[in-house]
Homo-oligomer: A and B are copies of this chain.
Amino acid sequence: MAVNSPLPVAADLKPIAGIRLGFAQAGIKKPNRKDVLVMALAPTATVAGVFTTNRFCAAPVQVCKAHLDALHMSDAPIRALVVNTGNANAGTGDAGLAAANATCSALAELLECEPAQILPFSTGVILEPLPVDKLIAGLPAALECLSENNWYAAAEAIMTTDTQPKAASSYVVINGIPVTMTGISKGAGMIKPNMATMLGYLAMDAKVSQSVLEHMVKQAADQSFNCITIDGDTSTNDSFMLIATGASELEITEIDSPEYLALATAVNALSQKLAHMIIRDGEGATKFISIAVEEGRDLEECRKIAYSIAHSPLVKTAFFASDPNLGRILAAIGYAGVNDLDVSKLDMYLDEVLVAKSGGRNPDYREEDGQRVMQQSEITIRVKLGRGEAKTTVWTCDLSHDYVSINADYRS
C-alpha cells in the first residue's frame, strides 16, 4: 500500500502527440508479465537526461550517454527508447555492453534508423547476464501495439518491486498554446550492493532545442528525483529522461525567456509528483517524510544535512516505530560533515512542534507532542541553521520490517 497515493486513473493520462508506447511480455525474468517497453518518437523530438553517478553505471546507461553525446555531432535524432525489467544489465562487463548495443541495433533495424538513435534502459537484478535474445524477440510485439494511449500500460511495464504503477499528466497554456505532458516513474529502494533502480520518463509536446532541454532536465531533476531517497543507495541504472516531441506549436529556444520559465515550472511540478510517488511506494514505506533544511550558508550544506537525516537508519526506524527519539535527528545533523556548524543557532521542528531551540531541547517541548506527530503518515522535519538564506527539501520514507522482507526476498 503506497502512503496516501491513490492508483493513477488511466483516462487521466494524456496522450502526447509525437510519442507512441508499446509493450511486450518477453519473459526476461518471469513469464506472463510486461517486461519490455518501447517509446517511439517523432523525428521532431529532442531528448535529454540525467543519469546515476554510480561509478559502476550499467551498460545501458553507458550506451545512453554515448548516444546522447553523439547528438552534438549529428543531425540524426533519437527515435526510440527501450526499457526492459527483470535484469539490470549492470556489472556485466563487455558482454553487457554488447547486449545493450545489440538491443539498439535490433530496434533500429525494425524502425529503420541507426543504432545510435536508440536509447536503452534496463532495471532488475544486477550481476546477471541480460537474456538479450529474449528481449530482442519481444520487440516486434511491442512495436505492433504502439499507441499514444498506452501510458498506463507503460507505467506497469517498467515496475519491479513497485506495488503500483506511477504516472501522472498535466498541462500548461503558454502564449495561448497548450503544452501537455505525461510522465511515468518506477521505484526504488535497495539494500547494498546490488539491487533496484529509479527510472523516470517525462514527455511533452512542446518543441525544445537540445541545449535548452539539457538545462531543463537538470534543473527538474535537482528539484525532484535528486531530492528523494529511500535508502541512500544510488543504483547502477538510475535515469530520468525528458522528451520534447515538438508536436506543439510552442517552441523554446532560450533559457532566459518567460516561456521557458512557465514550461520549466510545469515540468518541475510534474517531476516532483512522479518523484514523490516513488517515495510513497518506497519498499515497506508507512510514512512520507519531508526534510526541510533552511537558513543555511549554501545549498550544499543544506543538502548534506538533509541527506544525513534522510539516510540515518536510526532516524528512519524511529519514524517507523513512531518513537520520538529525536536526539537521533540532532546526531545526524551533527555528523553531516558541516564542520563549522554552530549548533547554538539551530532550531528543529517536527511539523509545528518546536523540539530543539538554540541547539538544545526546547524548554516547552513535551514528549507527547513529538509522539503525536511521529504517529502521522506525513511528517515534516524542519531544521533552521540560523546562518544564511539557502534552503532545500528532501523527501524520504521510514525503514520498516517490510523493507527488509521485500529486499531479502527480491530474487526468490
| Residue positions of A touching B, CB distance < 8 A | 4-6, 9, 11-12, 14-15, 171-173, 176, 178-180, 322, 349, 351-354, 372, 375-378
> With the chains together, A377 CA to B171 CA distance in Å?
15
**Inter-subunit contact A11/B377 (CB<8 Å):** yes
**Inter-subunit contact B15/A372 (CB<8 Å):** yes
* Shortest distance from the beta carbon of A44 to any chain B beta carbon, whole Å: 18
Residue of B nearest to A15 (CB): B372
Residue of B nearest to A17 (CB): B369
- Which listed residue, B178, B349, B352, touches A352 by the CB 8 Å rule? B178
> With the chains together, A102 CA to B74 CA distance in Å?
85
**Inter-subunit contact A375/B6 (CB<8 Å):** no
Known: A9-B4, A11-B377. A173 touches B349 (CB 8 A): yes
Known: A173-B349, A178-B353. A9 touches B377 (CB 8 A): yes
Residue of B nearest to A11 (CB): B375
* Shortest distance from the beta carbon of A281 to any chain B beta carbon, whole Å: 13
- Which listed residue, B173, B176, B377, touches A12 by the CB 8 Å rule? B377
> With the chains together, A349 CA to B354 CA distance in Å?
46
**Inter-subunit contact B9/A352 (CB<8 Å):** no
* Shortest distance from the beta carbon of A284 to any chain B beta carbon, whole Å: 17
* Shortest distance from the beta carbon of A127 to any chain B beta carbon, whole Å: 38
> With the chains together, A179 CA to B354 CA distance in Å?
11
**Inter-subunit contact A171/B376 (CB<8 Å):** no
**Inter-subunit contact B376/A179 (CB<8 Å):** no
**Inter-subunit contact B171/A351 (CB<8 Å):** yes
Contacts A4-B6, A4-B9 supplied; 15 other A-B pairs, CB < 8 Å: A6-B6, A9-B376, A11-B375, A11-B376, A11-B377, A12-B378, A14-B351, A14-B352, A14-B372, A15-B372, A171-B351, A171-B352, A172-B352, A173-B352, A180-B352
Residue of B nearest to A13 (CB): B376
> With the chains together, A6 CA to B4 CA distance in Å?
6
By Cβ-Cβ distance, the 7 closest A-B pairs, closest first, are A178-B352, A171-B352, A11-B375, A9-B377, A12-B376, A11-B376, A180-B352
> With the chains together, A378 CA to B176 CA distance in Å?
22
> With the chains together, A55 CA to B288 CA distance in Å?
46
Residues of B within 8 A of A176 (CB): 354
Please name 21 pairs of A and B residues whose Cβ atoms are closer than 8 Å in the assembled complex, sorted by A: A5-B6, A6-B6, A9-B376, A9-B377, A9-B378, A11-B375, A11-B376, A11-B377, A12-B376, A12-B377, A12-B378, A14-B351, A14-B352, A15-B372, A171-B351, A171-B352, A172-B352, A178-B349, A178-B353, A178-B354, A179-B352
Residue of B nearest to A380 (CB): B171
Residue of B nearest to A351 (CB): B171
> With the chains together, A5 CA to B9 CA distance in Å?
12
> With the chains together, A372 CA to B176 CA distance in Å?
20
Residue of B nearest to A169 (CB): B376
Residues of B within 8 A of A15 (CB): 372
> With the chains together, A176 CA to B377 CA distance in Å?
24
Residues of B within 8 A of A179 (CB): 352
* Shortest distance from the beta carbon of A169 to any chain B beta carbon, whole Å: 8
Residue of B nearest to A149 (CB): B372
Residue of B nearest to A249 (CB): B364
Residue of B nearest to A172 (CB): B352
Residue of B nearest to A354 (CB): B178
> With the chains together, A6 CA to B5 CA distance in Å?
7
Residues of B within 8 A of A4 (CB): 6, 9
